[in-house]
Amino acid sequence: MTHQEVTQRKLFIACCIALTVTSMTFAIRAGILTQLSESFGFTDTQLGWINSMAFLGFPVATVLGGLLYNSLGPKVLSVVAFVGHLLGLVLTIYATGFWSLLISTFFIGFANGAVEAACNPLIAESYPNKKTTMLNRFHVWFPGGIVIGALISKVFTDLGFSWQSQIAVMIIPTAVYGWMMLSLKFPEARHFETSTSKNAKALLSPLFLFMVLCMTLTATAELGTQQWIERILSASGASPMLILAMITGLMAIGRYFAGPLIQRINPVGVLLFSAVVSTIGIYSMSIATGPMVYLAAILFAIGVTYFWPTMVGFIAEQVPAAGALGMSVIAGVGILAVSIWNPVIGSWIDSARQQAQEQNLTGGAADLVAGQAALSNLTLFPLMLIIAFTGLFLVMRKQSHQSS
């Protein structure tokens, strides 16, 4: 293995650690929602606004990062991510209420977006002949980090540790990837079109705009459901954080072995398959209780596994003129959609719980009804994707036949 290949591998590992931190913030934030509610007296709608800041900071960073990638390069964006994570985590630990949590969560979201803006195009540049495969392997560490974060959150919560201690744990991997990014030499951009204006023009193509719309649905189906897993399933008779760990563990395995599946079915076929199975999974969770929740969660995991990396990889392969900007925008739009929907999901839970209480249901019974109602609404997102990806599949197949 040459020195260049060794450096390339180390950079890939650093990117994976950075993405692990990103997903740990997601999992641990989901795990401490009840503690935050109890500590500060927040409603689910207020928790939704706090969650939304992470999903708002993300697209701000990805869009800015996409626009500046050609001039700044991935190393500067990686350092920005490191500083943002460190600052956001420390500010969260010392937060005193709603507004301070809004600010600190925005910094964490911005750092998460900077990781995507730096690492997605860097990996696509480093592995030009297997972009989608390597992006799937990179994105193994989003569910992988959620497994780690979910288990840490459950253990710490069960042992009675504070929510601040759960946040503090993430400083360790943050320091590791920060040191690696600062010490490693990054390659010069070679494979992407380097004109940002040409990248921006490609964003107006009908295919890109269509995929942007689909990304708002895939991201909300996946991340909107997972972010509220603790609140939605707390009264279902199953352990929400164990379910989150199980879901994301299955996702990590699926993404690692995504290459042969994508080559056999093709990316659009994978997306259509994912939409069908995730619809069945979310609907099943909306009616299941007890052990059956775990089975429904497995279906959900299989459904959402390939959404995110395949969407990003599809843009890299089918709209290459969009370059790093296109990959950053598609990711940013997905997270922005989750930001917008987070307070809405919280309000669904508040509203359904209030209606249940008006029907003389209290405690766990009201929470169960509220969680199932929210899941029922979330089923609509992948259901719309079935229609969208069926149309895309037919169009792409027709174009393939015409060109052959």
pLDDT digits (tens, 9 = 90+) for 184-234: 888 765 544 457 788 888 899 999 999 999 999 999 999 888 878 877 887
User: Degrees (nearest 5) of the Cα angle 396, 319, 304?
Assistant: 70
Other C-beta atoms lying within 10 Å of the C-beta of residue 209: 11
- The candidate with the shortest Cα–Cα distance to 56, out of 367, 343, 373, is 343
What value does the mean pLDDT of the chain take?
A: 87
Give yes or no for residue 63 having a pLDDT over 80: yes
Q: 3-185+195-403 belongs to which CATH class?
A: mainly alpha
The answer to whether 78 and 118 have CB atoms below 8 angstroms apart is yes
Model confidence, pTM? 0.77
Lowest mean pLDDT among 127-136, 165-174, 294-303: 127-136
Nearest to 22 by CA among 91, 117, 102, 99: 117
Residues 283/284/289/293 CA torsion (nearest 10 deg) = -120
End-to-end alpha-carbon separation of the chain, Å?
39
- What is the DSSP code string of 233-267? HTTTTS-HHHHHHHHHHHHHHHHHTHHHHHHHH-H
- How distant is the alpha carbon of residue 178 from its chain centre? 21
From CA 381, how far away is CA 133, in angstroms rounded? 26
Looking at residue 190, its pLDDT comes to: 54
When pLDDT is cut at 50, 70 and 90, the band that residue 308 belongs to is confident
Q: Where are the domains of the chain?
A: 3-185+195-403
Note the pLDDT of residue 196: 76
Angle between helices 380-403 and 363-378 (to 10 degrees): 20
Mean pLDDT to the nearest integer, 88-97: 93
CA 207, chain centre distance (Å): 22
Q: Find the mean pLDDT for residues 273-300.
A: 93
